[in-house]
Structure 1
Amino acid sequence: MRILIVGAGDVGTNIAHDLADSHAVTVIDRDSERIDALTADAALAGVVGDGRSVGTLDEAGLSEADIVVASTDSDSANVMVCNAAKEATDPHTIARVKDVGLYRAWQSFDKGLGVDAMLCIDLLAARSLVRSVVLPGAKAVDTFADGTAEVAEFDIGAETPISGQSVAEADQYPSVTFAAIIRDGELLIPNGETVIKADDCLVVIGSTHGVSRFAKDVSDRPTLQPDDDIVIAGGDSLGYNVARLFEDRGFAPEVIEHDPERVSRLANQLGTSTVVEADATDVDGFARDHLTEADLLVGTVDDDTNYLLAKLARELGVEQTVEVVDNRDVIDLFESTGLDVVVHPQDIVAGEILQTIYEGGSEKVAVLEHDEAEVLEIEVDEESLLAGSTIQGADSELPQEFVVGAVIRGGTLRTPRGGTVIQTGDRVIAFMDAAVADEISSQL
């Protein structure tokens, strides 16, 4: 396919590189330095200009484009890009937005505004954040097959019960597959003899019940209770959506926001939440007034404030911290200091964009561990290499960096074993190294 991407920020750059090996990708951005950096990759083309301009879109090859992705930092610009593309030709248009109100308006207009698919980064990040908290010990969680299966990442500590065990010894969960281990930044596909070590990151795929049971067994974090004190620092769109999702699960969080108008609006829009007017950037005052009794801190302000609040929360004995990080360059700092869950919204929305355009029958794709690995949800058709094959047979035909984590048949999850036969119509959840994703997806 021919794909135009408008916006060469984190999201646009990541999806461009991911798609470049199997699609003709052109990126548009007003920043010539960004375009120069992107086009250093010979597989990518770039145009310097304003993606809202039909002239710029034409220069980038709009007349032959199958898909236009609008991923600038401006919601209005992204909608205008999609409109301009639709007026000129009729590609499939995808817009990334932050404003939940705009997203709701798009839904009420029967998905109009010239946008075929709109992805709201704050809603997506809020859902991922709350799922990660409700599943104790998980640093990232994604749901597949209409909620039938989950993929989760767990940091293994020296005191984790399965640390030092082989996969065969540790894998006592009938509906869970140990899909991968990330060790010292390297991706490892384990076998039964692989020993799980302290400081590993373990990726598991399984039923929601199975993953929840695994999480409770291996995590030293307590399960969040309805009467626990949840403090959300920041009442912007993301903070509001996090609070609303916690309310949906029976919790009553406290939201801290400094803007009096926003405080009033939140108080009217939220239900069981308590909204307090205070400044989260006054770190000492915030810690004294709001963290001494907290069980969970969620930081949705800015990276620096979120980091300081999380460190103070730990010193004050807050059991869990979840921090939203916008700057990719500081994610490793957050994770290396032992904070429980770090959410990077740009990675989440990049995965959702890839979901709509990935080739080869894939219906969903998630990006894990800073783009080093991908999880695909695939509906097996007659032309798929998997159709009629056993798991063992498929493994012999595909790179070793590929593993089938779950098979869903008739709405029921089946844990794959070597002799499991994959049938046409099955939904397969597969894990793979991002480096071989394009090669593999074309065969599935």
Structure 2
Amino acid sequence: MKIILVGGGKVGTALARQLSEEGHNVTVIDTNKARVEHLSESYDVMGIVGNGSSITTLSEAGIEEADVFIAVTGSDELNLLCCMFAKKAGHCHAIARVRNPSYSHELDFIKKQIGISAIINPEMAAAREISHLLRFPGASKIDTFADGRVRLIKFTLTDAQELDGVAIHEIPTRLKSDILVCAVERAGDVIIPNGNFVLQTGDQVTFLATQEKAHAFFQRIHLAVRPVRNAMIVGGGAIGFYLSQELLENHVRVRIVERDPERCNVLAESLPEAQILCEDGSNREFLLSEGLESTEAFVALTNIDEENVLLTLFAKKHSNGKLVTKINRLEFDDILAGLDLGSIVYPKYMTCDYIVQYVRALQNEAGSNIKTLYRILDDRVEALEFTVHEESQATGVPLSRLHLKKNTLLCCITRGNEIKIPRGGDQIQVGDNVIVVTLEHGLHDLRDIVED
């Protein structure tokens, strides 16, 4: 597919890399010459120095032949303007990143009036993910499928869970838990396990279950399931605002620490039920005086990654609460993995994942569309949800006779209101939604999981 990408920042760079690796013809537009040159030299993309809202620049990029147009500059208004011009000049699917909370209630209107295919608000998505984590604090990562009915949950295995030396096939009978272990990270390696795989203390375990069954499983292995009742948030930006809204709606007591007096006034007016503390969040004595030691959740959401890391490490030393850390720079993954920062949230990953999911779905409008895509465990594993539209070699065959590609696990089938972890005798039918976890990258269709 021919894809035009406006904005070569962190998200634009991640998209340029991913989409070009998946074989797309990608053109990147940015006003920064050095940035364009870096992208052109680093990835198999064409670079144009120019303004993405200029018809001349769009024509040079080939907007008339483009299949997808993506605007991820630092300006919401410019992203919308670029998409509007792209729709006028071409016949492409247009995707815009829009982050300002003032637009949050107008996104449907904007999409309809401008004709944009999708609007992504990564800050709102990040707030929603953090809210899920605070409602289920024993998990370090939660992704949702089947319109929220199925969850992919990650946790760290400690001695308290008493699962060291237990084979995966023993879990259903030993713990009376209907869950499926989909992936395990151990000593830097990622494994898609079979039933004979034996768990060890220290493993990072990712499993799939419904919310109710995940709750029961966590109770049986002594992990926290009670939602937090109070939270301290450092950083009153867009994510802090959206998160506070969600938490207050769920009757969670919220304290926001924000150093900017003007921003504090805005927050106090917009969130009258929250306690706004106008202070530098790096003031450790202040955090302790405001009850850090007794808080049930500490969320670091400043605009500086290093500050968020240090704040979380300080909170970890003084509090037993749930820890959440926002990180923007994707290249720090390997360093952060060894710091035990609780749950790490990457808003920029969310933007990239959503757009890649959208593009893959466009590629295959027949067969099995991708409904949901997550890249998990440091981008090494893909978890995908397919909607089956027609018969193929993957349908109508008992799963025990379906030869899946190596390191691929078929985790769940949803059929109407029925959700099942499939067994060998089950079959995939037209109309099903199927969840797959795999080390393979770039799958577009359910048929791609079957060996040729």
TM-score normalised over the length of structure 1: 0.91
Which amino acid is the alignment partner of residue 4 of structure 1? I
Q: Give the CA deviation at 1:299.
A: 0.9
Q: Give the CA deviation at 1:118.
A: 0.7
Which amino acid is the alignment partner of residue 384 of structure 2? L
Rounded Cα–Cα distance in structure 1 between residues aligned with 2:23 and 2:176: 37
3-state DSSP of counterpart to 1:365: strand
Contact map agreement 2:408 2:449 (CA 8 A) in 1: no
Rounded Cα–Cα distance in structure 2 between residues aligned with 1:336 and 1:130: 24
Identity %: 28
1:184 corresponds in structure 2 to 187
Q: Give the CA deviation at 1:119.
A: 0.7
Rounded Cα–Cα distance in structure 1 between residues aligned with 2:98 and 2:383: 24
Which amino acid is the alignment partner of residue 368 of structure 1? I
3-state DSSP of counterpart to 2:437: strand
3-state DSSP of counterpart to 2:190: strand
Q: Give the CA deviation at 1:109.
A: 4.1
TM-superposition CA deviations, 1:60-115 (whole Å, max 9, x none): 22111111111122222211211220121131110112212124223244633453
2:10 corresponds in structure 1 to 10
Extract unaligned runs of 5+ from structure 1: none
TM-superposition CA deviations, 1:401-429 (whole Å, max 9, x none): 22111100012211111221111100111
1:195 aligns with 2:198: yes
Rounded Cα–Cα distance in structure 2 between residues aligned with 1:334 and 1:245: 27
1:253 corresponds in structure 2 to 254
TM-superposition CA deviations, 1:260-297 (whole Å, max 9, x none): 33323322322532222222133343333341332211
Call closer, same or farther: CA 1:225–1:130 in 2, change over 3 Å.
closer
2:121 corresponds in structure 1 to 120
Contact map agreement 2:382 2:440 (CA 8 A) in 1: yes
Q: Give the CA deviation at 1:247.
A: 1.6
Which amino acid is the alignment partner of residue 122 of structure 1? E
Deviates more, 1:420-429 or 1:33-42: 33-42
2:227 corresponds in structure 1 to 224
2:374 corresponds in structure 1 to 366
3-state DSSP of counterpart to 2:105: helix
1:97 corresponds in structure 2 to 98
Contact map agreement 1:380 1:386 (CA 8 A) in 2: no
Contact map agreement 2:235 2:258 (CA 8 A) in 1: yes
3-state DSSP of counterpart to 1:407: strand
Deviates more, 1:164-173 or 1:73-82: 164-173
Rounded Cα–Cα distance in structure 2 between residues aligned with 1:57 and 1:102: 26
Deviates more, 1:401-410 or 1:356-365: 356-365
2:356 corresponds in structure 1 to 354
3-state DSSP of counterpart to 2:383: strand
2:330 corresponds in structure 1 to 328
Q: Give the CA deviation at 1:344.
A: 0.9
Contact map agreement 1:297 1:318 (CA 8 A) in 2: no
Contact map agreement 2:181 2:193 (CA 8 A) in 1: yes
Rounded Cα–Cα distance in structure 2 between residues aligned with 1:269 and 1:384: 52
Q: Give the CA deviation at 1:158.
A: 4.2
Q: 1:213 aligns with which of 184, 192, 216?
A: 216
Contact map agreement 1:408 1:426 (CA 8 A) in 2: yes
TM-superposition CA deviations, 1:175-203 (whole Å, max 9, x none): 42111112233321101111112332212
Deviates more, 1:92-101 or 1:250-259: 250-259
1:272 corresponds in structure 2 to 273
Q: 2:405 aligns with which of 399, 422, 437?
A: 399
Rounded Cα–Cα distance in structure 2 between residues aligned with 1:40 and 1:438: 27
Deviates more, 1:239-248 or 1:197-206: 197-206
1:288 corresponds in structure 2 to 289
Contact map agreement 2:159 2:201 (CA 8 A) in 1: yes
Call closer, same or farther: CA 1:101–1:175 in 2, change over 3 Å.
farther
2:427 corresponds in structure 1 to 421
1:57 corresponds in structure 2 to 58
Contact map agreement 2:391 2:429 (CA 8 A) in 1: no
Q: 1:309 aligns with which of 300, 308, 311?
A: 311
Call closer, same or farther: CA 1:68–1:216 in 2, change over 3 Å.
farther
Extract unaligned runs of 5+ from structure 2: none
Q: Give the CA deviation at 1:16.
A: 3.3
Q: Give the CA deviation at 1:438.
A: 5.1
**Aligned pairs, number:** 440
3-state DSSP of counterpart to 2:95: strand
Call closer, same or farther: CA 1:242–1:42 in 2, change over 3 Å.
closer
1:139 corresponds in structure 2 to 140
3-state DSSP of counterpart to 2:324: strand
TM-score normalised over the length of structure 2: 0.89
Contact map agreement 1:30 1:48 (CA 8 A) in 2: yes
Rounded Cα–Cα distance in structure 2 between residues aligned with 1:184 and 1:438: 30
Contact map agreement 1:153 1:201 (CA 8 A) in 2: yes
Contact map agreement 2:394 2:447 (CA 8 A) in 1: no
Rounded Cα–Cα distance in structure 1 between residues aligned with 2:232 and 2:12: 33
Q: Give the CA deviation at 1:57.
A: 2.0
2:169 corresponds in structure 1 to 168
3-state DSSP of counterpart to 1:104: coil
Contact map agreement 2:10 2:329 (CA 8 A) in 1: no
Rounded Cα–Cα distance in structure 2 between residues aligned with 1:173 and 1:45: 55
Call closer, same or farther: CA 1:79–1:212 in 2, change over 3 Å.
same
Contact map agreement 1:407 1:426 (CA 8 A) in 2: yes
